[in-house]
Structures are given as structure tokens and as C-alpha cells.
Structure 1
Amino acid sequence: MSKKTFTEKEIKQLKTNKYVKSVSSKGITYTDEFKQIFIAEKEKGKFARDIFKEYGFDIEALGTDRIKSASKRWQKAYKENGIIGLRDTRAGNSGRPTDRELSLEEKNARLEAQINLLKAENELFKKDSFCRKGDEEIALTPSHKFILIRSVIEKYQLENMVSYLCEAAGVSRSGYYNYFSEKSQKQRELTDKKDEGVKEIILKAFNFKRRKKGARQIKMTLAGQFGVVYNLKRIRRIMKKYGIICPIRKANPYRRMMKATQEHRVVPNLLNRQFKQDIPGKVLLTDITYLFYGKGQKAYLSTIKDSSTNEILAYQVSDRITMDLATNTLLKLKKNRNFRKAEDAIIHSDQGTHYTHPDFQKLVKKLGLGQSMSRRGNCWDNAPQESFFGHFKDEVNIKACTTLEELKHEIKQYMIYYNNYRYQWNLKRMTPVQ
């Protein structure tokens, strides 16, 4: 540990660096993002001093002893606990290790809290942002998010993580506390009481003459038969709130989908899970995954993976899930000078509309590839690709990115690391490129 203290000038200078959480005269706290960047850069063979310098730190101000100490500490933590080991969950932590001061029970309690936080984040982002209704995506309201956050906190006992979870869900901390305040709860009770009365009147119109009706028919029936005038939006809100659904002439969520896919063609599963054929360039796997970053922002990642070597041969990132996402990934594969197509090479995917589309299938043929597809709803038929996405989301700091450009940069760095420096046990302890 360095005995060097920081001057006022050095403290001000260090505070301007976005990778610094806090600085005092005796210590400095780095962000979790910088620790992960440091480990990734270190595994590329860079020197610790050069990494700190590259990311805007004054080497003279920090001192070589402090840099060496941080480097050893982070590498040890990463080796023992992976990415979790790099997370700073201690208030006022200066970055110095305190394992010697903690009992075994305290260490276990902290580790359990970290695991529960990761579970909570995963659960929050799985349910947050969008729920599905037919073929539509419907954004959750802030009130739904507040209820979700409270359920996560109670389930995993994360009372001290309110600010973090509110930020992750894209809602304000003050709004969360206000929602559960006594005043707000009383106001909601009054609103619910009024809505109950309106619901009873709407149900009379809904069941009038024993004929089920939609919102517009209900509005006209209320005015014509009961002399009651309600706003159409109010009627729809009450119907949605209490699950009053008209069974007649409902929109068919599949009609538009079927119309759009009339020219689409599903191909047989030629691969049959024979992923490892020990011939690079023989079996290619492709898929698209959702990425949630920043404050509820969504992007999409399309990749093509060599099933034999696990190398990511091409990828494309976009904020729109258009047809170009899949076709541009194929074009990037074509431009990859290191890719050597084997005899009878095939590209395997699920039965998504991107891969059944005539444009995609024509481009596959143009590249001289055969095409194979998983059976409907069977993710195991493309298991290695799904496994890659799982590791990717665990290891990449997606949520810290605030813009699409930052996200693309983070993904680019990870792809370089994954292909060239991430050793894999099942590849005889080599990297995909090796």
C-alpha cells in the first residue's frame, strides 16, 4: 500500500476523471467500470502503468506503488470471484482490501448480498421496460415499476439498494417513496372507490340486452339508454383496469404477421445439434439478442459464431430490429479476411422472421452457404449461440453505457477480448483464435 498522500491540487485533478468515485488525501476509490476495463486491458498484455495513463490518470500523482497495489488486488479478486469480485458494495470504500478484518460469517453475508443484487437486477430487467400483449410491446407505467422494485427488495432483502434499483428501472427515488407514502395511498384508495362505481355503470352497458360490447358501443349505449356521458378514454381505462374485454371482432395479432411472412420459408434442421465437427468454417451459428442499457434504452446484437472454434466471426449492433440487422451481419462475414469457408458449410439459426426472409436466404446462397434451422420453440438446437449470449451479458458492463456509441465501443472491446484473450476450458484451454 502506498504511503503517498494527495495534495489539494491532485485531489481536484483526480476528481475530474470519470473513472474515479471519490478521493481523499489518503486514498482513492475507482469505479467498477474502470476495474473491469483494467482487467480486460491487462489480459491483453498491457502494463498497469500504461492502462492508468491511457484512461486519463496522472501517474505521478497516483504513484507507482499505488498502481501496483491496485493491480494486484483487482487481479486477485477477479481470479477468485470473477466480475462480482470487482464490484464495490461497501460505503466509503477506499479500494483497500479489508478481508483480514472480516469474519467468515461477514464475508459470506456480503457475498450473499452481492448474489441477491445480481438476481434482483436480472429479475428487474427481465420484467422491466416491456411486457407483451398479442404482438404489441407495452411499456410498463412508473407505478408498475415501483411495485416491481418493492417486490424485488422484499424478496432479496435489499433495503439499502433502493437508489440503485430505481436508477436501473429508469424511475426516480423520490417518486418511489412518494408512491408508497400514506398520502398517495389514500389518494389511490379514493380513486379506486370512484372507479368501482364507474365500473358498475360500464358493466350495465357492457351487458345491456346480453350483448357484449366494445368501448365505443358502451359509450353510445350509456348516453342513449342510461343518460350517462363518459369520455371514451375513461371507459377504455376502466375496461383495462378491471379486465373487461369484448370478445367480438378482436384484433388478430397473427393476421398481420402471417401476411408479412407469406413469402417466408422455413428450412429443415440439417445440423441436428452436431455442433462440434472439428472443422473451422463448417458450422456457423447466428442469432439476435436484446440489450438493455442506460435508463431503459434498448439495442439489438446479431452475431455469427463458428461452432467449432467458438470464434465470433461477425456481429452487428443496432437500435432497430430491422431486416438489415441480419443481412449486414452476413455482409460483415463476407468482409472478414480471416474467415475460410469449409466445404459444405452451413449457417444455422432459429425460425425467426429475419432468417426465413427471402432477402436473407438469397444472401446465404450467394455466399455459398447451406441453411439450417432449429425446430420451432427449441432453444437447445442452437445452444452454443445461446450460451455465448449468456456469458456476454454476464461479462460486459452494458448497463453503464448511456449512448448507443458507448455501447458499440464496449461490445467491440469485448469481442476483441473474447476472440483473442479469453481462454476456454473446452477448447483445450486456448482462445477461439488460437
Structure 2
Amino acid sequence: MFENLDAGGATHKYKAIKKVAGEYTISELCKLFRVSRSGYYAYLKRQQTDRDKPVKELIQAVYKKYDGKYGYRQTQLFLLQDHGVWVNHKKVLRLMQEMRLRSRIRRKYRSHNVLSAGRRIAENVLQREFKADAPNKKWVTDVTQYRVADTWLYLSAIKDLFNNEIVAYHMGVRNDNQLVLRTFQKALEKTKDVTGLIVHSDQGFQYTSHAYHDMLPKVGAQISMSRRGNCYDNASMESFFSHLKTEGLYPYDIRSMDEAQRRIDEYIQFYNQSRPQRKLNKLTPEQFRHQLSA
């Protein structure tokens, strides 16, 4: 079985050892073939590196395309979406570690809720059930802010929990009731029938206003609110704002309000149309919605 043990050089011997490695110990085989165990394991490592080279090149392409913003789990989804290649997440993690590719650190969320007495409060109907079995059954909404030089830009957005799509948003330099009301006007213009819809928010002053509480019941929607000071009750919306800022704003040196608004427009389009999500069976929000009607 082991004739001509010295023929073919070290690489030939390593190949022979690998073929019968399950029948004998590596130490016995290396002694028989007169090669070192360290040399054999170095050969295995080189083989593994060669096999991983095509995947590493794809990972590098994804990392570069998305400006190094993503960790191994989102990179795994982009490999499937952009290149049609499904790689085990543990392997993606290992290869990114070998290549020293790290995602940018996400800034922690800090609550900026403005609470005051005498406002109209609703019970927490949503109860952290951040899933819906059809579109326009559960919306979550909130307002976030982003500083541009000495000015604050405020963004109001509505997210559908069926497919995590941003159904409407509105930006302005004033954080007032009109910012939120205009957002809902846009959403309701696109969605004619919202009877039975649950709309969940925190207890920010815009959502406790009389105008807000008068508007939604008129179209058949039910108001739901987080418990006072509990940001986790609206975690799904906070998650979107976190992605928006760390992926769409923080990586760039934004100097003007126009640029900030453009970046937000571009990111929301990207988020809805091009960013796959594990919770959506590796599809983008739009793909997941279209799948329902297919």
C-alpha cells in the first residue's frame, strides 16, 4: 500500500497521508513517510487557504462595496443577494477575522423622549409583538434627530412590521406636531384602507397631542404607546434609526443640510429595496412584500 514512500517529494507524501489519515494516526504516518507533523499541518492550512480564496475575494468585494459597514451576518446576506453564494455564517466570520475585516462600531442608543403631564396617553396594545402576518396591520413610528453644524435635522418615520419597510417619512428643522402629522399624511395617501391598523409610538409630545389622537381613530386605526421611559417597547423603530445613522450618516463627513437629507433619502431607498434581512428570509423589505402578491 505504501510502496515508493520517497517518490514525488513532500507534497506527494502529504497527499498520501491525507488519504489514509482516518486509518492511522498522523504521528505514525508522518514517521513512516519521514516528514514532520508541522509540515503536514502547514500543507493542510495551505490547502484550506487556496480553497477559501474565491470566497475571500467575494467577501472583500462586499466589504468594499458597502464601505466596511457590516459584520459577518449581514455580509453573509449580501454574498447571497449580490453574488448568489450562500456561505455558512461561521465560515464568513472566520474568513473576515483572517482578513481582519471588522464592521464599524455602532453607537449606543440614548433616549431623548420628552415627557410632560396632561397629555393624551394610550395603552401599550403592541406589547412588543414586532411581527405582523399582513401589510398595514402594525406600524411603529418615532422621531430621531441628527446634528448638521449648528442645526438639528429631525426625521419622522413609519415602519410596517410585516416586512420592516419604511412606508413614509418626513424631514424638517423643527421638531413639532406638523412633522409627525405630515408623515402620516404621506402614509395614508399611499395606503387607502388602514381599518384595524395598530400604530405604536413612544410617549413623545407629538404622539400625545390632540391632533394625533384625533387623526388616527378617524381612519380606523388604533393608537398604541410604549410605557413611560421604556425604549424597548419600540425597539423595532429604534433599530432602524440605529442602522440609518451608523450605515447612512456617521461614515460620511456631512457638511450641509441638503447633503444630510440626500443621504437619508438614499439610505431609506437602499434599506427598502437593496438591504436583505435575515428575519425576512434573506429578502429585502420590497422583495418580501412582492412575494406576498406573487
Task: Note whether the superposition's TM-score is higher than 0.5.
Answer: yes
Once the two structures are TM-superposed, the CA of residue 75 in structure 1 deviates from its matched residue by 2.8
- The yes-or-no answer on 1:78 pairing with 2:78 is no
Larger RCO of the pair (alpha carbons < 8 Å, separation 6+): 2
SS at match of 1:433: helix
- The yes-or-no answer on 1:288 pairing with 2:274 is no
Give CA deviations for 1:228-256 in whole Å, capped at 9, x if unaligned.
Answer: xxxxxxxxxxxxxxxxxxxxxxxxxx9xx
- The yes-or-no answer on 1:377 pairing with 2:229 is yes
Structure 2 partner of 1:421: 274
Match 1:404 to one of 254, 257, 263: 257
Once the two structures are TM-superposed, the CA of residue 384 in structure 1 deviates from its matched residue by 0.7
Once the two structures are TM-superposed, the CA of residue 417 in structure 1 deviates from its matched residue by 1.0
Assess if the C-alpha contact under 8 Å between 2:195 and 2:221 holds in 1.
no
Distance 1:106 1:375, change over 3 A: closer
Structure 2 partner of 1:348: 200
Once the two structures are TM-superposed, the CA of residue 83 in structure 1 deviates from its matched residue by 2.2
Assess if the C-alpha contact under 8 Å between 2:155 and 2:171 holds in 1.
yes
Give me the whole-angstrom Cα distance separating, in 1, the residues matched to 2:262 and 2:193.
28
Assess if the C-alpha contact under 8 Å between 1:281 and 1:340 holds in 2.
no
- Aligned residue identity for 2:131: K
- The yes-or-no answer on 1:275 pairing with 2:261 is no
Structure 2 partner of 1:359: 211
Counterparts of residues 53-68 of structure 1 (less than 5 Å): none
Give me the whole-angstrom Cα distance separating, in 2, the residues matched to 1:388 and 1:371.
21
Distance 1:309 1:403, change over 3 A: same
Structure 1 unmatched runs, 5+: 1-71, 86-104, 127-131, 136-253
Please provide the CA RMSD for this pair. 3.3
- The yes-or-no answer on 1:387 pairing with 2:260 is no
What is the TM-score of this pair, normalised by structure 1?
Answer: 0.42
Distance 1:401 1:367, change over 3 A: farther
Give me the whole-angstrom Cα distance separating, in 2, the residues matched to 1:270 and 1:280.
18
Give me the whole-angstrom Cα distance separating, in 1, the residues matched to 2:140 and 2:246.
20
- Aligned residue identity for 1:431: T
SS at match of 1:83: coil
Once the two structures are TM-superposed, the CA of residue 297 in structure 1 deviates from its matched residue by 3.4
Once the two structures are TM-superposed, the CA of residue 302 in structure 1 deviates from its matched residue by 0.7
Give me the whole-angstrom Cα distance separating, in 2, the residues matched to 1:395 and 1:388.
10
- Aligned residue identity for 1:412: D
Assess if the C-alpha contact under 8 Å between 1:286 and 1:385 holds in 2.
yes
Once the two structures are TM-superposed, the CA of residue 277 in structure 1 deviates from its matched residue by 2.4
Give me the whole-angstrom Cα distance separating, in 2, the residues matched to 1:80 and 1:319.
29
Once the two structures are TM-superposed, the CA of residue 407 in structure 1 deviates from its matched residue by 1.4
SS at match of 2:179: helix
Assess if the C-alpha contact under 8 Å between 1:348 and 1:374 holds in 2.
yes
Assess if the C-alpha contact under 8 Å between 2:125 and 2:225 holds in 1.
yes
Give me the whole-angstrom Cα distance separating, in 2, the residues matched to 1:343 and 1:331.
15
- Aligned residue identity for 1:318: G
- The yes-or-no answer on 1:368 pairing with 2:223 is no
Once the two structures are TM-superposed, the CA of residue 360 in structure 1 deviates from its matched residue by 1.1
Counterparts of residues 227-238 of structure 1 (less than 5 Å): none
Distance 1:303 1:80, change over 3 A: closer
Assess if the C-alpha contact under 8 Å between 2:199 and 2:221 holds in 1.
yes
Once the two structures are TM-superposed, the CA of residue 374 in structure 1 deviates from its matched residue by 0.8
Distance 1:82 1:341, change over 3 A: farther
Structure 2 partner of 1:432: 285
